[in-house]
Amino acid sequence: MDFIKVASACPITKVGDVNFNISNILECTKDAVKNGAKLIVFPELSITSYTCSDLFLQSTLLNKSIEGIHNLLEDTKNLDILIAVGAPLLHKSTLYNAAYILFKGKILGIVPKSYIPNYSEFYEKRWFTEGIGITNKIIDLPFQKDIDFGTNLLFSCADFTFGVEICEDLWVTIPPSSYLALIGANIIGNLSASNELVSKMDYRRDLIKNQSARCICSYIYSSAGVHESTTDLLFSGHLLIGENGGILKENKRFQRDNEVIYSIVDIFKLNAERMKNLSFRDSTRMLNMSPKTINFSYEDVVLKEFDRYVDKHPFVPSNDLEREIRSKEIFNIQSSALAKRFEHTGLKKAVIGISGGLDSTLALLVIVKTFELLNYPMNNIVAITMPGFGTTDRTYNNALSLCRELGCDLREINIVKASLQHFEDIGHDKDIHDVTYENVQARERTQILMDLANKEGGLLIGTGDLSELALGWCTYNGDHMSMYSVNPSIPKSLVRYLVRYVAEKESTSTVRSTLIDILETPVSPELLPKDDEGKITQKTEDIVGPYELHDFFLYHFMKHGSSKERIFFLAKNAFKDDYSEDEIQKWLDKFMWRFFTQQFKRSALPDGPKVGSISLSPRGDLRMPSDAAPWK
């Protein structure tokens, strides 16, 4: 079970009218089933309503609540959905604020509220007793015997495990959900009745985001609505569904009708994140709680409609402001890391090969920013353009213009003569445009750069990016090698936005125009001869496939350890308007083959800073055998 559709609901209620409340809870539940949800969470004490006050001490209300639960069980016994609903529980003369977990006509378990607020506008201790510390209890109700009761209950079906806490439990120093997550819950439900105050909404949302991140879980929050008593307080019916630090779905508060929100939770991703996060695993050593797991089985867990948003460009923020902030942060990381390397080596010069392409442009911009930080003169940046057989006027002129505009020490070394000599030395026909033809040029350029760095007493800066490393789209001991690399964890899809950020926010008009033209130039190593019109003939994406697809594949393969089948499923949903399923499958096969067969190049990478959550450094994030068989 990779995915499960969940729901958070706020029904219309009448204070103390159990039959009315049950009818609306049932209506919301049927709506959830109709929409394919397998779990629905209702507000705290929703069967009676939260604001009954001293009516909770009346046997009439308590008896009606138990009858209402019985009726709800009868009405939902044929529905394939797990229901978490709030109601009081009287047990051995003690009253608890509880969550009842219902499934197919039975109560699977009852979870008491651990922490009872009794400050400011809250005075729940007038009626209810804390459930903290209650574990492994068994209780009877008139219509069902031997019901599990406690704060350590987990409700599990396949890879999905559900735990419950109630309102105030989230606000305490160590919420019960922290323990529930550590004993196995990957989805937490919070049945709440949180009154509305100015700005409380933001605090509540932040709590849910942060707790779902700490617990690496999905967090389903349901709060009582506007139909509670407004004697002193107003409730807004705030509904949220969070997942690992983000909000998947949130409603507009203050609704006056029954409301249910839905989202698909990625259980596979949550479990994968927990497996990778060793600190999460080590935290279990602090546990003094053992789970009581109650297993159940759905009739059908197949999603009838996959409507979860899948980001086509997971490395690139979709929001303009966030993208600008991220770009600035990335430049700070790259330039600060490079500055440290210059300070450590004591070198004052940088050497870089400039092709007029995106990667070398980004690397040059990072060097410029670094030299600004260190107060080094810009003419200490030795920028070398090395035209070869496939160099076009467009990339050549862009390289020259950019270096001049930035004040670099621009030099030109044509590699055609040296390459022809090398073809002759190794007995290669210059008219055979094979991999040898291409790699001779790449290695000639690297040799020039390395030797020139020695001569100038400078640091050779590599330009290759994360996408190229993933695909092995670099020449071993050619552009694959440098003395320090600044782009090794920047995917190609993000390189464009970083260059565009500098063009729009941190450059003069003349530099901007050059950068814009570089952005509009097709990606190419320019190692094959240009056409009769002097244009690029070798376009990388025609050979290896679209970089936006490969970056998508890489993200899900590395971030969550996704299988090839799962990546294909996500890709066909994300790119359904852009590529056919056959195209996606073709390039996914290509990605897998190249990723596995090119590890030997990644095993010999120069140093370079990790920028995002994914890196292929053999010293940090990826220790992979070079001889592993490609996955088919």
List the CATH number of the domain containing 110: 3.60.110.10
Residue finishing a domain among 528, 544, 560: 544
Predicted pLDDT of residue 553: 97
Longest dimension (CA), the chain: 101
- Per-residue confidence band for 197, with pLDDT thresholds at 50, 70 and 90: very high
Looking at the fold, whether 356 and 284 belong to one and the same domain comes out as: no
pLDDT > 80? residue 89: yes
In a domain, 85, yes or no: yes
Predicted pLDDT of residue 520: 87
Give the whole-angstrom CA distance, residue 322 versus residue 243: 19
* Residue 44 designated active-site: yes
Query: Is 19 assigned a ligand-binding role in the annotation?
Result: no
Residue finishing a domain among 544, 575, 606: 544
pLDDT > 70? residue 526: no
3-class DSSP state for residue 275? helix
Give the whole-angstrom CA distance, residue 583 versus residue 340: 44
pLDDT > 80? residue 187: yes
Q: List, for residues 363-391, the tens digit of each pLDDT value.
A: 999 999 999 999 999 999 999 999 999 88
* Residue 583 designated active-site: no
Q: List, for residues 288-318, the tens digit of each pLDDT value.
A: 778 999 999 999 998 988 999 999 999 999 8
pLDDT > 70? residue 413: yes
**Which residue among 157, 167, 215, 403 is the active-site one?**
167
Looking at the fold, whether 192 and 146 belong to one and the same domain comes out as: yes
**Which residue among 5, 10, 38, 44 is the active-site one?**
44
Least confidently predicted of 44-48, 95-99, 538-542, 565-569: 538-542
CATH number at residue 357: 3.40.50.620
Predicted pLDDT of residue 530: 65
Query: Is 356 assigned a ligand-binding role in the annotation?
Result: yes
Query: Is 473 assigned a ligand-binding role in the annotation?
Result: yes
* Backbone φ, ψ for residue 484 (5° rounding): -165, 140
Number of domains in the chain: 2
Give the whole-angstrom CA distance, residue 381 versus residue 379: 5
Contact 10, 259 (CB under 8 A): yes
pLDDT > 70? residue 527: no
Looking at the fold, whether 273 and 404 belong to one and the same domain comes out as: no
Looking at the fold, whether 493 and 355 belong to one and the same domain comes out as: yes
- Per-residue confidence band for 525, with pLDDT thresholds at 50, 70 and 90: low
Q: List, for residues 540-552, the tens digit of each pLDDT value.
A: 777 889 999 999 9
Query: Is 358 assigned a ligand-binding role in the annotation?
Result: yes
Query: Is 437 assigned a ligand-binding role in the annotation?
Result: no
Query: Is 476 assigned a ligand-binding role in the annotation?
Result: yes
Q: List, for residues 323-350, the tens digit of each pLDDT value.
A: 999 999 999 999 999 999 999 999 999 9
Looking at the fold, whether 15 and 59 belong to one and the same domain comes out as: yes
Query: Is 439 assigned a ligand-binding role in the annotation?
Result: yes
pLDDT > 90? residue 85: yes
Contact 489, 619 (CB under 8 A): no
3-class DSSP state for residue 573? helix
- Per-residue confidence band for 414, with pLDDT thresholds at 50, 70 and 90: very high
The DSSP symbol for 235 reads: B
Contact 593, 625 (CB under 8 A): no
In a domain, 552, yes or no: no
Q: What percent of the chain has pLDDT over 70?
A: 98
In a domain, 629, yes or no: no
* Cα 142 from chain centre: 47
Residue finishing a domain among 503, 521, 544: 544
In a domain, 394, yes or no: yes
Residue 50: C-alpha distances to residues 44, 46, 166, 424 (Å):
7, 6, 12, 88
In a domain, 280, yes or no: yes
Contact 169, 115 (CB under 8 A): yes
* Residue 167 designated active-site: yes
- Per-residue confidence band for 632, with pLDDT thresholds at 50, 70 and 90: confident
* Backbone φ, ψ for residue 494 (5° rounding): -90, -30
Predicted pLDDT of residue 509: 82
Contact 374, 367 (CB under 8 A): no
601's enclosing H/E stretch is: helix 599-602
In a domain, 312, yes or no: no
Report the pLDDT averaged over residues 495-521.
89
Looking at the fold, whether 151 and 248 belong to one and the same domain comes out as: yes
Predicted pLDDT of residue 467: 96
Looking at the fold, whether 258 and 382 belong to one and the same domain comes out as: no
Q: Against a cut of 0.75, is the pTM above it?
A: yes
Residue type, 546: P
pLDDT > 80? residue 524: no
Predicted pLDDT of residue 587: 96
Q: Which residue has the tokens 């993933």?
A: 470
In a domain, 276, yes or no: yes
Angle of CA points 87, 183, 224, to nearest 5°: 25
Query: Is 221 assigned a ligand-binding role in the annotation?
Result: no
Query: Is 474 assigned a ligand-binding role in the annotation?
Result: yes
Query: Is 357 assigned a ligand-binding role in the annotation?
Result: yes
pLDDT > 80? residue 206: yes
Q: List, for residues 270-282, the tens digit of each pLDDT value.
A: 999 999 888 988 8
Looking at the fold, whether 266 and 329 belong to one and the same domain comes out as: no
Strands (E), 444-498: 458-462, 484-485
Looking at the fold, whether 282 and 336 belong to one and the same domain comes out as: no
Bridge partners of 219, per DSSP, are 188, 242
Q: What is the mean pLDDT of the chain?
A: 94
Looking at the fold, whether 192 and 331 belong to one and the same domain comes out as: no
Predicted pLDDT of residue 574: 97
In a domain, 309, yes or no: no
The parent domain of residue 522 ranges over 320-544
- Per-residue confidence band for 138, with pLDDT thresholds at 50, 70 and 90: very high
**Which residue among 113, 349, 530, 572 is the active-site one?**
113
Looking at the fold, whether 116 and 199 belong to one and the same domain comes out as: yes
Contact 14, 49 (CB under 8 A): yes
* Cα 421 from chain centre: 50
Q: DSSP for 103-124?
A: ETTEEEEEEE-S----STT--G
Looking at the fold, whether 237 and 380 belong to one and the same domain comes out as: no
Bridge partners of 207, per DSSP, are none
